Amino acid sequence: MVCHQRRRFTYDEFNAAVDLMARGLMRRGIAVGDRVGIWSPNCAEWVLVQYATAKVGVILVNLNPAYRTSEVEYALTQSQCRLLVAAPTFKTSDYRAMVAQVAPLVPTLEESIFFESPEFDGLSDPGAVTAADLAARGRRLDPFQPINIQYTSGTTGFPKGATLTHHNILNNGFFVGELCRYTEADRVCIPVPFYHCFGMVMGNLACTSHGATMVIPGPAFEAQAVLTAIAAERCTSLYGVPTMFIAELEALDAAAVDLGSLRTGIMAGAPCPVETMKRVISDMHMTEVTICYGMTETSPVSTQTTFDDDLEHRVRSVGRTHPHVEVKIVDPETGEIVSRGVSGEVCTRGYSVMQGYWNDPQRTAESIDADGWMHTGDSGTMDADGYVAIVGRIKDMIIRGGENVYPREIEEYLITHPEVVDAQVIGVPDARFGETVMAWVILRTGSRMTEEELQQYCRGRIAHYKVPARIAFVEEFPMTVTGKVQKFKLREMAQEEGLRSQVTDDRDAG
């Protein structure tokens, strides 16, 4: 492992450090099945905690570094974490201060430990716990035990804790690496976040299952840092969502960097524009770049293109079904499999499907049917050759730069403001992020609240990518005769409003 913190580990050194931390967790009385939260941007400590918790059968609870107090409190409480490990700060986030607010509100939380502290160093103190004790703990573990909880925004309120097992994520990481043709000679640049499966499974586990090198270019994405790391470390593979690759290409135009070592990589999270893919292949030398599709609940990858798929398949499809996984396209109303080329709901089944949502059997049953099929909520097609294309979303989800954002969660927060009567959130097209968040809001009579004031109410309380970029105030929403809000009409209204704004801008410019 190579890290932006100027830390480097051989596999022997990495394994020894992981074992020490695993024994240190045992010394603190952390038992099989206990939950340990981690709240941090990408760093070497994150990876050590990931592997140490796995070695002792502890369930790692991933917290998004962009979370704010209400979100952290909910995740720690719902998962019943005993221990939280966190970075002290990141950018404008003072994690120490936020944890001080939240910790007294989480009944099960016994201790919070911050990186770069004596307490964190103490996590690697095994005390009287021996290597034999660790080995004995390992023999008690079962591959089908849960090992990771990742919170996904919910369509009906609070986030859901997708619960993943050793069997889920280790196998998925391995097969992702197989389709990228990784060997011990590969060096994988991982600028995508570890709190998500893209980083910790497709990145870290794909590397360690093939003996490849993990290269961590920075705590969070920064295009120039990624390019510098690729050139300095002679990386052969690079991960990212399309917006990351677009930013890297812009940075490459401004400062020439030798990317000749690149061979492959993964683009996922959103459709890739044709011109971007052409430049990734030509200017970044990623002739074998692959496209992946999936969701946290499926560990995450269900389909992937291969190194020899042509440009058309890389931009018009998300590849074919992964090894040991099934995919079918069904009519969302009847559940019957549709004909090739006909759109329907994408469903997947196999080893990769999560164990369920943590302590939430009702929502688990709503997503995984009696036959074990995970209903993704995505609308897609499958052609005669087995290539899957995603054509839309059945669920009302917004994908903003690779982040899944569910409107209901934002709506429920907006109506906590005393001047807001009701709110509806939709996704609107955005040149940079693919989609961005727009809120339609009904205010109490006499309120003079502005767009900026409501945005300010959100900042620091919900993740930055959930804060509405646009807010429109209305007196009523378009409704059906049965009283349901017609969000498609709100999208049409947003488009009309955008066109009017463009006309006004053009007139002003003239």
pLDDT score recorded for residue 508: 40
Who contacts 400 (Cβ-Cβ below 8 Å, separation ≥6)? Answer: 427, 430, 433, 434, 435, 436, 437, 465
9-141 and 398-509 in the same fold? no
* pLDDT tens-digit readout, 213-256: 999 999 999 999 999 999 999 999 999 988 899 889 989 988 88
Cα–Cα distance measured from residue 308 to residue 181, given in angstroms and rounded to the nearest whole number: 11
Q: How many CB atoms within 10 Å of residue 265? A: 22
Both tokens of 12, joined, read 């022997």
Tokens 């719902």 found at: 78
Measured between alpha carbons, how far is residue 429 from residues 294, 432, 499 in Å? 22, 9, 12
Handedness of CA 385, 387, 392, 394 (dihedral sign): positive
pLDDT score recorded for residue 395: 64
- Over its C-alpha atoms, the chain yields an Rg (Å, rounded) of 23
Helix (H) or strand (E) holding 231: helix 223-233
pLDDT score recorded for residue 405: 83
Phi, psi (rounded to 5 degrees) for 360? -145, 70
Both tokens of 442, joined, read 């009904």
- Please give the CATH number for the structural domain made up of 398-509: 3.30.300.30
* pLDDT tens-digit readout, 358-367: 999 999 999 9
Handedness of CA 280, 281, 285, 290 (dihedral sign): positive
Domain locations in the chain? 9-141, 398-509
pLDDT score recorded for residue 233: 98
pLDDT score recorded for residue 392: 67
CA atoms within 13 A on the CB side of 308: 0
pLDDT score recorded for residue 411: 87
Cα–Cα distance measured from residue 457 to residue 445, given in angstroms and rounded to the nearest whole number: 19
Q: Do the Cβ atoms of 8 and 2 come closer than 8 Å?
A: yes
Give me the helix-helix angle, 131-140 and 11-27, nearest 10°.
Answer: 80
pLDDT score recorded for residue 371: 97
35-39 and 470-473 as β-strands: parallel, antiparallel, unpaired?
unpaired
Both tokens of 385, joined, read 């050759």
pLDDT score recorded for residue 159: 86
Give the DSSP letter string of 273-340.
PHHHHHHHHHTS--TT-EEEEE-GGGSSEEEE--TT--HHHHHH---EEPTTEEEEEE-TTT-PBPPT
Measured between alpha carbons, how far is residue 281 from residues 66, 191, 262, 420 in Å? 32, 19, 10, 48
Q: Do the Cβ atoms of 76 and 35 come closer than 8 Å?
A: no
SS (H, E, C) 170-223: HHHHHHHHHHCCCCCCCEEECCCCCCCHHHHHHHHHHHHCCCCEEEECCCCCCH
For residue 204, give the DSSP letter: I
| pLDDT averaged over every residue in the chain | 92
What does each of the 510 residues of the chain score in pLDDT, given as a tens digit? Answer: 999 999 999 999 999 999 999 999 999 999 999 999 999 999 999 999 999 999 999 999 999 998 999 999 999 999 999 999 999 999 999 999 999 999 999 999 999 999 999 999 999 999 999 999 999 999 999 999 999 999 986 434 578 999 999 999 999 999 999 999 999 999 999 999 999 999 999 999 999 999 999 999 999 999 999 999 999 999 999 999 888 998 899 899 888 899 999 999 999 987 787 888 999 999 999 999 999 999 999 999 999 999 999 999 998 899 999 999 999 999 988 999 999 999 899 999 999 999 999 999 999 999 999 999 999 988 899 999 999 998 866 767 788 888 878 787 898 899 899 999 889 999 999 988 989 999 999 998 899 999 999 999 999 999 999 999 999 999 998 875 445 678 888 988 998 876 554 433 433 444
Both tokens of 148, joined, read 């990771």
Q: Which CATH architecture has domain 9-141?
A: 3-Layer(aba) Sandwich (3.40)
Secondary structure of residue 497 in the 3-state scheme: helix
pLDDT score recorded for residue 505: 41
To the nearest 10°, report the CA torsion of 108, 110, 115, 119. Answer: -170
Give the DSSP letter string of 329-393.
EE-TTT-PBPPTT--EEEEEEETTS-SEETT-HHHHHHHB-TTS-EEEEEEEEE-TT--EEEEEE
